[in-house]
Structure 1
Amino acid sequence: MIKRTLYFGNPSYLSLRNAQLVLRLPEVSNNDTLPDTFKKEAERTIPIEDIGVVVLDHSQITITQGLLEALLENNCAIITCDKSRLPVGLILPLCGNTTQNERFRDQLNASLPLKKQLWQQTVQQKIANQAAILESQGIIAKNMRAWVGEVRSGDIDNMEARAAAYYWSSIFPHLDSFRRDRDGDPPNNLLNYGYAILRAVVARSLVISGLLPTLGIHHHNRYNAYCLADDVMEPYRPYVDGLVCEIMESGKDYSMLTTELKAKLLSLPVVEVGIQGRRSPLMVAVAQTTASLYKCFNGELRKIIYPEL
């Protein structure tokens, strides 16, 4: 079943009742002139088991401990936003798999040659998917297709960086000297938001697969709590880029992250992707990817299953 992504961008009371998330609006609940029957009818309920990601994007949202506990018990990822209304925090369950200890050990014992091979596969698929995005925009990407075959174990030649330089200089041809920078000019704001949602989806799936999101196969920043998520999400980033291209082509003003633009980016988990010859929602595909990664760690597989654009 495809899990739902819920976005809360207004003052809200969020609580738990009968295994359901209950949404109440303060302006309704605190209005003594309204009858109790109207207040009851104004409530919205959503089954906890249907929820995969929750985005809390307002400083006046109140959420109960009981609801938090229920969401985490059901392997939900909870994203919190700062005063600028950008994702700033991620809450994940501590235990998401019944054989977690065994899986942690397999992950910790993975050999360096294996991790280098897995990173090679990751970079190859990332570059291939970036090439597909460029081609969908009518941009030549033969060089990137050739670079896919030149990625060696561990990407010791840093083909990822070479591809990225060409990719970002080409993907938005109508923008002069676009530079991919977290603090840069739009559409960096759209990319940042989309990647934050993607990161949460991947981290959630890693936990469900019984893996530690902190221990990467390539990323190893000592201050990064989600190195493995940052590794695994690389071939999925072009799907965010594709959504951003659609927004820009629509002619909408993207200088500010409006609710409408956020809604478009929050559709990422249900974007259809091709994986193993089938079409699947991105959230389902990520689950296949993280499950295959564990099988690589325990010796069942030698290749991660990634989507192909």
Structure 2
Amino acid sequence: MIKRTLYFGNPAYLSTENRQLLIRLPDKCGSGNAVTKSIPIEDIGVVVLDNRQITITQAALESLSENASAVIVCDSTHHPVSLQLPLDGNTLQSERFAAQIKASLPLKKQLWQQTIQCKIRNQAMVLSSIRNCETGNMIAWSSQVKSGDSDNLEARAAAYYWRNMFPSVPDFTRDRYGCSPNNLLNYGYAILRAVVARALVVNGLLPTLGIHHHNRYNAY
């Protein structure tokens, strides 16, 4: 089952009762009656808190953690600044942590090869369906990816992808601190990263231990 993503961009009071997330929204009509909704916590995968007037109870946070739901907090500029994940998300967690730590370099390179092959194929599918671009070259590149992507076909495919994805933005390059729409892509990336991190934790894996990219200052 695909878990739901809940986004809160307006003031709200979040609590829990009977395994339901209770959402109390302020009355905008002046009648004095707040609007209250409820959603089963077991259906929630990600919660995005993007307003400084949101209140969430400790009990709600605890229930979300027990469900392995990811909770994202945004700052005043609407950028995600924190991600809450459960510390204990799987009964075999310690065993799988150990397996991650012991993973051999050849295994990591093979996993990275599979990851890049899939990434390039997905990029080709998006360009073909949205921009009606020629993607035969990308399909060919995906089949040529070697163990560890030693030829860096990921970068070649990415350059072609971004150049064609935003034709209205001259010389667009994907840069975390670059011009728009990089800021929107950063936001979307943060949400997707939370979804992936949640899936890893639920399956007893540690998001901190990657298979290729690594940075001492990046917890994921």
> Counterparts of 1:173 and 1:43 in 2: how far apart (Å)?
44
Q: Partner residue of 2:191?
A: 197
Q: What are the equivalent positions in structure 2 for 1:31-46 lying under 5 Å apart?
A: 34=32, 38-39=33-34, 42-46=35-39
**Residues 1:208 and 2:202 are matched in the alignment:** yes
TM-score by length of 1: 0.67
> Counterparts of 1:147 and 1:47 in 2: how far apart (Å)?
44
Q: Partner residue of 1:71?
A: 64
**Residues 1:185 and 2:170 are matched in the alignment:** no
> Counterparts of 1:148 and 1:17 in 2: how far apart (Å)?
49
In the superposition, relative to structure 1, how do residues 56 and 176 fare at CA in structure 2: closer, same or farther (>3 Å)? Answer: same
What letter is aligned with 2:175? D
SS in 1 for 2:126: helix
Q: Partner residue of 1:14?
A: 14
> Counterparts of 1:17 and 1:118 in 2: how far apart (Å)?
42
What letter is aligned with 2:58? Q
> Counterparts of 2:118 and 2:18 in 1: how far apart (Å)?
44
TM-score by length of 2: 0.92
SS in 1 for 2:73: strand
Q: Partner residue of 1:109?
A: 102
What letter is aligned with 2:8? F
Deviation digits for residues 15-56 of structure 1, max 9, x if unmatched?
12222211223558xx8x84xxx45xx322222112111010
Q: Partner residue of 2:154?
A: 160
- How many pairs align? 218
Deviation digits for residues 276-295 of structure 1, max 9, x if unmatched?
xxxxxxxxxxxxxxxxxxxx
> Counterparts of 1:127 and 1:98 in 2: how far apart (Å)?
34
Post-superposition offset of 1:122: 0.7
What letter is aligned with 1:6? L
- Report the aligned-residue RMSD: 1.7
**Residues 1:148 and 2:146 are matched in the alignment:** no
Q: What are the equivalent positions in structure 2 for 1:85-96 lying under 5 Å apart?
A: 85-96=78-89
> Counterparts of 1:52 and 1:149 in 2: how far apart (Å)?
33
**Residues 1:175 and 2:190 are matched in the alignment:** no
**Residues 1:138 and 2:132 are matched in the alignment:** yes
SS in 1 for 2:15: strand
SS in 2 for 1:83: coil
Post-superposition offset of 1:135: 2.0
> Counterparts of 2:63 and 2:170 in 1: how far apart (Å)?
48
> Counterparts of 1:125 and 1:156 in 2: how far apart (Å)?
16
Structure 2 portions without partners, runs of 5+: none
SS in 1 for 2:111: helix
What letter is aligned with 1:160? E
SS in 1 for 2:144: coil
What letter is aligned with 1:207? V
Structure 1 portions without partners, runs of 5+: 227-309
Deviation digits for residues 38-95 of structure 1, max 9, x if unmatched?
45xx322222112111010001111111110010000100011110112221110011
Post-superposition offset of 1:149: 2.3
> Counterparts of 1:147 and 1:198 in 2: how far apart (Å)?
25
